[in-house]
């Protein structure tokens, strides 16, 4: 290839990349940097005042924000661990079942993936109605079959609200890892499996020793996406618990806290853009570092086919 | 879990707003005004009134969009900060909106342009003024009053012959109602603001109403005062009369329990009456002020100027917006607001015909005390409300103590409110 041709190619690549780059810079990079700068200024309502150094970060580490921050971080972490454990493993099992199924794959695929395409707000209200402590069918059924002690105010009890949210999240999203894993399974060279079978490996051994290692790229993607999703969890907690993480902050997350601080909290007026931006910077750093580190580590253990 | 980043949500919000607000309209088309509110329950009322306005002003159309009450502030703040937002804005009182008015989001109103302002008393106008510049940004439309609503038929069937005058009598009435197989109160724990209003109803008699309000505003007393702690304890004590699984019962369900005649009492604001009647037009509602804490205490009715109508400073339809605002200031509109939604009017030229509202207003004028959190401590973050709303949800399930909650409120307020700085 002549160097002139190469230069032309570079020009073409540049021309194709420019529009996307401009969009990313204008809508992602500049707002992110602006937020970074906001964190170092004083705020009165929505008016920026003077440079205050690290004062907003100090406030974030004082009452009441620090208590809220610790609680929210804990909830995000629980969500990551629980969702990673259950949603991913159930997703993997579903994918493996679909991989091995002889008939009706398309039907199962649609059924498993269907909740993912539902509007999240609709899913939220649907489950809110199902779990309603007074009129909800779930409690009525529990009472009806003689288990009234299990009829709880699921979304209103500080002990059950977060687990309920994680369950709804699993119901809604489990199809996503399942489809990703199914694609990963289909990409595995059948010869490996046949070779293992000829060598007399059992189904369990094939899954553990051949299939699972070869699925590593899919697992990397799912882990990183779950990590980012869990630490930026906003939509479902917002729909079901409002911006205050009701009841009593038991479903609060870092993203809800950011929203509440920046734009004003439930029915109680005042906001604090400075502290909100300081929190935004922390979330960005946490998620950015975590995702970069995690994907790096996970990619190292991926094997070539 | 693959989550759309919430930045996407905010962007979507802007997009929706952008669609809702057409830019310059062509000369032949009517001017379209947009009007935002947090009163989803008043949608039919406003749409009716808008029809009347449009009949007289065929060149103007008004689109009314209400948002969920608990998220209204955030939605409005996001839109206004982005330079968008509606032409006409239903505005929260006092500190509830002052951060937005101080940032220059609202058009300052003058009595020359909005003559109705001249007829309102100064105390009411103050609820819709800037925190810093004291300019008039809103036309206040209603005063709210807190008390106890009751169902006379259920009380009759439960053998409660006289309305409770003291806290002990109130508990006795709750027990009688419970024994007769009804729910004592519809109030529950699913909604933080509703719990805060419950406290603002029954609390003042414990902490000493207006004199405590003045002392805490002046920094002479703190929220850790024994009397204030006792007022918080009263909320914890009432939880055992709430419906089963009360922690998870949301705002609409709890109000529905009273409206559908399952609960004998509902503790809250007069603004609920309109909603109760919309659910059950034949509902018989009585009202009485919260009972006194003990024989020596005084009774109080929590009250505040609740909400006003404002104009977006960036509106491109100022003339039409003022025309509509003046319509909202007319006697006819004020009368309809009182007759149909049972609001207490701000304007002296509106007559109260509703028997229940008349009664509430009579008590309000004699026993009125400012709603402590709303009038005094919503100007900066963390507001007392932002601590109390989730705090009450914890308190009623035993997750915190009245003493601890009082300490939390004090710490939060002392972090920004000058007269309370350094006090605990």
Chain-chain contact of A45 with B244 (C-beta, under 8 angstroms) = no
Distance CA B286, CA B163 (A): 10
Contact A271 B96 (CB under 8 A): no
Note down the domain range covering A19: 1-27
CATH of residue A217:
1.10.3720.10
Put simply, the answer to whether A83 touches B393 (Cβ < 8 Å) is no
User: Both A82 and A16 in a single domain?
Assistant: no
pLDDT at B132 over 90: no
Question: pLDDT digits over A160-214, tens only?
Answer: 999 999 999 999 999 999 999 999 999 998 899 899 999 998 988 998 989 999 9
Closest residue in A to B379 (Cα) is A270
Q: Which two tokens stand for residue B243?
A: 């419906």
Partner residue facing B70 (CB), from A131, A225, A266: A266
- Assign B81 a pLDDT band (cuts: 50, 70, 90): confident
Same domain, A9 and A133: no
Identify all chain A residues contacting B399, using CB atoms and an 8 Å cutoff: 158, 248
The mean pLDDT value for A84-105 works out to: 93
Q: Which ipTM value was assigned to this complex? A: 0.74
* A210 and A163 belong to one structural domain: yes
Strand positions, DSSP E, chain A:
41-44, 47-51
Does residue A206 share a domain with residue A70? yes
Residues A6 and A64 in one domain: no
Angstroms from B246 CA to nearest CA on chain A: 7
Chain B environment of A228 (Cβ under 8 Å)? 3
How close does chain A come to B211, measured CA to CA in Å? 23
pLDDT in tens, B211-233: 999 999 999 999 999 999 999 99
Rounded to whole angstroms, the Cα distance separating B299 from B290 reads 7
Per-residue pLDDT of A274-285, as tens digits, reads 999 999 999 999
Average the pLDDT over each of A301-305, B4-8, B238-242, B307-311 and give the range with the smallest value.
B4-8
Do B247 and A151 count as a contact with CB atoms less than 8 A apart? no
By C-alpha distance, the chain B residue nearest A168 is B1
One domain for residues A256 and A128: yes
Does B336 map to a domain? no
Q: What is the DSSP string of A41-69?
A: EEEETTEEEEE-TTHHHHHHTSTTHHHHH
Q: Which of B2, B81, B408 minimises the CB distance to A46?
A: B81
Contacts of A261 in chain B (CB under 8 A): 381
> Which of B131, B257, B71 has the alpha carbon at shortest distance from A133?
B257
Asked if B282 contacts B104 with a C-beta cutoff of 8 angstroms, the reply is no
Name every residue whose Cβ is closer than 8 Å to that of residue B121 and which is 6 or more positions away in sequence: B348
Does residue A10 sit in the same domain as residue A144? no
Q: Is the pLDDT of residue A250 over 80?
A: yes
CATH number at residue B132: 3.40.190.10
Nearest alpha-carbon partner for B116 in B273, B285, B329, B305: B329
* Residues B129-134: contacts with CB under 8 Å, at least 24 apart: B129/B101, B130/B98, B130/B101, B130/B102, B131/B95, B131/B98, B131/B99, B131/B101, B131/B102, B131/B379, B132/A44, B132/B98, B132/B102, B133/B102
Query: Residues B13-23: what's their mean pLDDT?
Result: 45
Query: Among partner residues B245, B391, B394, which is closest to A134 by beta-carbon distance?
Result: B245
The pLDDT assigned to B6 comes to 46
* Domain extent for B269: 146-302+372-420
Q: Which residue has the tokens 């909603």?
A: B275
CA triple B131-B134-B137, angle to 5 deg = 90
Contacts with A266 from chain B: Cβ below 8 Å:
70-71, 192-193, 386, 389
Q: What is the residue-averaged pLDDT of chain A?
A: 90
Query: Could you give the residue ranges of the DSSP H alpha helices within B67-121?
Result: 72-81, 95-102
Residue of A nearest to B393 (CA): A248
Count CA atoms within 13 Å of residue B372 on its CB side. 32
Same domain, A157 and A211: yes
Nearest to A173 among B2, B92, B96 (CB): B2
A34, part of any domain: no
The total number of structural domains in chain A stands at 2
Instruction: Answer whether A234 sits within 8 Å of B380, measured CB to CB.
Output: no
Predicted local confidence at residue B359, as pLDDT: 87
Q: In this complex, how many residue pairs, one in chain A and one in chain B, have their CB atoms less than 8 Å apart? A: 201
Q: Is residue B92 part of a domain?
A: yes
Partner-chain contact A261 B3, CB within 8 Å: no
Q: What residue in A sits closest to B79 (Cα-Cα)?
A: A263
> B209 to chain A, minimum CA–CA distance in Å?
21
When mean pLDDT is compared across A42-51, B54-63, B370-379, the lowest value belongs to A42-51
**Are both B320 and B279 inside the same structural domain?**
no
With bands split at pLDDT 50, 70 and 90, how would you rate the model's confidence at A33? confident
What is the tally of structural domains in chain B? 2
In a domain, B277, yes or no: yes
Alpha helices in B245-354 (DSSP H): 251-259, 272-279, 318-328, 331-341
Answer whether residue B18 shows pLDDT above 70.
Answer: no
Q: Do B99 and A158 touch (CB under 8 A)?
A: no
- Between chains, do A268 and B245 touch, taking CB under 8 Å as contact? no
User: Which residue did the predictor score with more confidence, A150 or B405?
Assistant: B405
Mutation target among B248, B260, B375 for the A interface, most CBs of A within 10 A: B248
Residue at B273 is within a domain? yes
Q: Which residue of A has its CA nearest to B193?
A: A267
Kindly state whether residues A81 and A151 are assigned to the same domain.
yes
**Does A63 lie in the same domain as A121?**
yes
- Cβ distance A133 to B248 less than 8 Å, yes or no, reads yes
Residues B154 and B260 in one domain: yes
Question: Residue B104's closest CA among B118, B121, B85, B119?
Answer: B85
Q: Which residues of chain B neighbour A79 with C-beta distances below 8 Å?
A: 1
């Amino acid at each position: 290839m002549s160097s002139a041709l190469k230069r032309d190619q570079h020009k073409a690549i540049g021309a194709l990349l420019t529009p996307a780059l401009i969009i990313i810079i204008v809508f992602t990079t500049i707002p992110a940097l602006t937020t970074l700068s906001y964190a170092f200024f004083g705020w009165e309502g929505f008016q920026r005042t003077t440079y205050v150094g690290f004062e907003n970060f100090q406030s974030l580490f004082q009452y009441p924000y620090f208590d809220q921050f610790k609680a929210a971080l804990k909830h995000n972490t629980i969500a990551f661990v629980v969702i990673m454990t259950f949603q991913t493993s159930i997703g993997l099992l579903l994918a493996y079942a679909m991989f091995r199924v002889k008939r009706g794959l398309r039907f199962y695929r649609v059924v498993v993936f269907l909740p993912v395409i539902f509007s999240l707000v609709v899913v939220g209200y649907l489950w809110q109605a199902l779990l309603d402590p007074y009129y909800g069918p779930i409690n009525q059924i529990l009472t009806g079959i003689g288990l009234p002690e299990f009829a709880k105010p699921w979304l209103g009890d500080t002990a059950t609200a977060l687990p309920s949210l994680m369950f709804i999240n699993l119901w809604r999203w489990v199809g996503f890892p399942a489809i990703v894993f199914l694609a990963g399974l289909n990409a595995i060279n059948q010869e490996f499996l046949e070779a293992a079978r000829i060598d007399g490996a059992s189904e369990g051994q094939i899954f553990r020793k051949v299939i699972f290692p070869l699925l590593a790229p899919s697992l990397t993607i799912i882990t990183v996406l779950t990590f980012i999703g869990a630490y930026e969890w906003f939509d479902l907690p917002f729909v079901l618990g409002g911006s205050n993480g009701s009841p009593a902050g038991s479903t609060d997350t870092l993203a809800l806290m950011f929203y509440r601080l920046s734009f004003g909290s439930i029915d109680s007026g005042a906001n604090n853009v400075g502290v909100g931006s300081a929190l935004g910077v922390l979330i960005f750093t946490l998620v950015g570092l975590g995702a970069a580190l995690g994907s790096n580590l996970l990619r190292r253990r991926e094997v070539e086919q | 879990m693959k989550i759309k980043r919430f930045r996407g949500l905010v962007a979507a919000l802007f997009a929706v707003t952008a669609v809702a607000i057409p830019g310059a309209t062509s000369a032949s088309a009517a001017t379209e005004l947009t009007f935002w509110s947090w009163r989803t329950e008043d949608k039919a009322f406003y749409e009716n009134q808008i029809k009347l306005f449009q009949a007289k002003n065929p060149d103007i159309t008004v689109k009314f969009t209400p948002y969920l009450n608990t998220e209204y502030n955030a939605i409005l703040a996001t839109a206004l900060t982005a330079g968008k937002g509606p032409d006409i804005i239903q505005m929260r009182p006092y500190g509830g909106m002052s951060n937005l008015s101080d940032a220059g989001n609202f058009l300052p109103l003058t009595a020359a342009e909005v003559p109705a302002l001249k007829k309102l008393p100064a105390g009411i106008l103050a609820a819709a003024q800037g925190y810093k510049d004291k300019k008039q940004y809103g036309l206040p439309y209603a005063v709210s009053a807190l008390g106890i609503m009751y169902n006379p038929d259920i009380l009759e069937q439960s053998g409660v012959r006289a309305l409770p005058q003291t806290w002990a009598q109130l508990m006795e009435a709750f027990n009688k109602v419970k024994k007769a197989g009804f729910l004592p109160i519809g109030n529950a724990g699913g909604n933080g603001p509703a719990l805060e209003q419950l406290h603002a109803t029954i609390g003042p008699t414990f902490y000493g109403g207006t004199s405590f309000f003045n002392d805490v505003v002046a920094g002479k007393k703190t929220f850790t005062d024994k009397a204030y702690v006792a007022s918080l304890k009263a909320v914890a004590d009432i939880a055992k009369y709430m419906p089963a699984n009360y922690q998870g019962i949301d705002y609409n369900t709890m109000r529905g329990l009273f409206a559908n005649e399952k609960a004998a009492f509902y503790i809250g604001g007069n603004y609920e009456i309109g909603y109760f009647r919309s659910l059950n037009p034949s509902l018989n509602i009585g009202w009485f002020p919260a009972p006194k804490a003990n024989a020596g205490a005084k009774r109080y009715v929590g009250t505040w100027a609740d909400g006003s109508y404002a104009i977006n400073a960036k509106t491109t339809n100022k003339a039409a917006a003022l025309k509509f605002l003046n319509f909202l200031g007319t006697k006819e509109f004020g009368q309809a607001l009182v007759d149909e939604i049972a609001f207490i009017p701000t304007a002296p030229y509106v007559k109260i015909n509703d028997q229940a509202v008349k009664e509430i207003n009579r008590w309000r004028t004699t026993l009125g005390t400012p709603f402590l959190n709303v009038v005094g401590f919503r100007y900066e973050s963390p507001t007392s409300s932002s601590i109390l709303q989730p705090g009450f949800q914890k308190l009623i399930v035993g997750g915190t103590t009245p003493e601890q909650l009082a300490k939390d409120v004090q710490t939060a307020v002392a972090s920004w409110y000058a007269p309370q700085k350094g006090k605990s």
